[in-house]
Structure 1
């Protein structure tokens, strides 16, 4: 970000999150929508003087203040070489890097602040199955698997007939399977418990088929095909859901 009137250049980076999904991850005005992505402004002069959240908070406040004044321009570094800027003079400043202990403290602070920030976005749900489920689904959307799992457990503790909670737990364990393949077995157990409650739930049967494919054990290909066929019978819209992934005879 170029602020000509301030004689200052700010930095913002692409979070990798699409703009239309940003509200799941950020509070309003905590990011900059730019080229279809959510970008994070940071005040780099705070390097070594505080945690990331402080640099982020200062950067985003400065951006929106200058944006309202019309004194900031977004410049993509990929095309910046096509723009000519007048040479500047920067005084030499010695800035020693943080020590290992300081870096660990900064990282720990960032982790704690991010967890608190996410809780603010999701909100503290009322202790009812539906509210807890919705909060858990939000955590799942932003990849906070353990928080989502904990909330689904609370849903089931209040209502053990909440089929979607079992299904969501199955999805969580499926995602965890990339780190520990034993989680695929737990995912299958959750999906099967969901089917006991809702045997005609096509989505759960499709999820079962996916886990069988991912687990890849003896006979899993046949089990996947069986669940996939039943899912298609229940919901014809799923006919092409696993095309090219599952081998049909």
Structure 2
């Protein structure tokens, strides 16, 4: 009841028909409100029609930059899921295992976009640089499929496409806004605590909530992924230093602006099936060549920063070997670890050689190295942890539990950090064989972080 002389605001929920939702164009609609009330002792009824303009699905007002997340559709668009999956499936083992994190996959997806000759083209009517600073203006945002079809887009369109491909590959994304510009960033997959081991230049990544994010300038697609990364990092450094940059993740933005289903009119727009995967081997090889060059530059700089060009002792050889192993050059790493083993009596090279052998599937050699390490330092917690992990990988739960029990006595904190045994593993090796490393989060954590330690 509304007392005399007072007013109330009441929410009105409008349910649009599927036909209206799928419409791509602006429509003039009439909202008819019918309400009844009692005035005095008499029942009254009134009808009011309010004219509305329903904008197309591509329309967006930049009063909140996080709205762009609503255009990141992954599972709702089969083309994006299939494209992302097929590109990643084409990455060979030597590239995918090159180093920890998401850089290889991010580079491959970026190069796929470049292979389709998608170009940056500012919107002639509603450029982001103009509409983003005038919240009342209406911008036109392309869905990812549309940008693939049109082979062009402005900064927000290219950002939506790249972020969609990344999210479809289970790579978390974010957006960076600067005055008149927006571009994406991706989770590197490497934690901030391990930054110095993987990135020779700390200015190339953004540290947020324990993660390292890679900013990518998608408007220079034709210059390649690593140049786009460099340009994105430069823009972030200069604008954030002046307080002119904002950073928000797609995941947190989805809480406010969840992705809906793309209109059927968008999903029905077909892409030439012969061209869905770009130029095949040519684009893939260009991507892989860039990744190898990046790896070699990082290794060279990290070795130089640590003055390890000419190792002087077993510790130097071990440190350089770790850098090689971190970037997948296992043969070079093994050479350095063996040289370190010959020059000193530390168990560390033995543990590293065991990890390399295990990763290549040679468990018997791995156990030989670990046995030698046990003979040298039976009370070393790292030795017992490595031994427990290797036995667990082989499904030998009894030996693994024995080594892990010993570890728990020697270093309870290390054992707590890597809980190799869970309830699912108490019934024997069948649980490990059926669930793989997922049966032991502690084992997975140990393997994933080994070269980062």
| TM-score band w.r.t. shorter chain | 0.7 to 0.9
SS at match of 1:71: coil
Question: Which of residues 204, 208, 211 in structure 2 aligns to 1:30?
Answer: 204
Encode CA deviations 1:190-239: one digit per residue, 9 max, x unaligned: 111222333443432342233122212xxx44433444455556x26377
Deviation at 1:122, TM superposition (A): 4.2
Counterparts of 1:21-170 in structure 2, within 5 Å, are 21-26=194-199, 27-47=201-221, 49-80=222-253, 82=256, 99-100=279-280, 101-123=282-304, 125=308, 126-127=310-311, 128-140=313-325, 142=326, 144=328, 146=330, 147-159=332-344, 161-170=345-354
Partner of 2:400: 224
Residues 70 and 130 from structure 1, CA distance in 2 versus in 1: closer, same or farther, beyond 3 angstroms?
A: same
Deviation at 1:64, TM superposition (A): 0.7
Q: Distance in 2 between matches of 1:195 and 1:232?
A: 16
Residues 236 and 158 from structure 1, CA distance in 2 versus in 1: closer, same or farther, beyond 3 angstroms?
A: closer
1:209 matches 2:388: yes
Question: Which of residues 363, 376, 382 in structure 2 aligns to 1:197?
Answer: 376
Partner of 1:92: none
SS at match of 2:302: helix
Deviation at 1:138, TM superposition (A): 4.7
Q: Distance in 2 between matches of 1:59 and 1:205?
A: 44
Encode CA deviations 1:155-197: one digit per residue, 9 max, x unaligned: 12434x33221122113333x15xx3xx211110111122233
Deviates more, 1:99-108 or 1:56-65: 99-108
Partner of 1:3: 178
Structure 2: which 5+ runs fail to align? 1-175, 258-274, 429-453
1:15 matches 2:188: yes
| Count of residues paired in the alignment | 222
SS at match of 1:113: helix
Encode CA deviations 1:137-158: one digit per residue, 9 max, x unaligned: 3555x46361533421231243
Q: Distance in 1 between matches of 2:393 and 2:328?
A: 21
Instruction: Verify the 8 A CA contact 2:295 2:327 in the aligned structure 1.
Output: no
Q: Distance in 1 between matches of 2:209 and 2:411?
A: 37
Partner of 1:90: none
- Greater relative contact order, per chain length (Cα 8 Å cut-off, separation 6+): 2
SS at match of 1:15: strand
Residues 73 and 223 from structure 1, CA distance in 2 versus in 1: closer, same or farther, beyond 3 angstroms?
A: closer
Encode CA deviations 1:31-55: one digit per residue, 9 max, x unaligned: 01123311101111221x2332111
Encode CA deviations 1:113-147: one digit per residue, 9 max, x unaligned: 2232233134351322111212333555x463615
The structure where strand makes up a greater share of residues is 2
Q: Distance in 2 between matches of 1:76 and 1:210?
A: 35
Q: Distance in 1 between matches of 2:405 and 2:191?
A: 34
For normalisation by structure 1, the TM-score amounts to 0.73
Whichever of the two has the greater Rg, that structure is 2
CA RMSD of aligned residues (A): 3.2
Residues 246 and 227 from structure 1, CA distance in 2 versus in 1: closer, same or farther, beyond 3 angstroms?
A: farther
Q: Distance in 1 between matches of 2:252 and 2:374?
A: 54
SS at match of 2:202: coil
Deviation at 1:72, TM superposition (A): 2.0
Structure 1: which 5+ runs fail to align? 84-95
Partner of 2:129: none
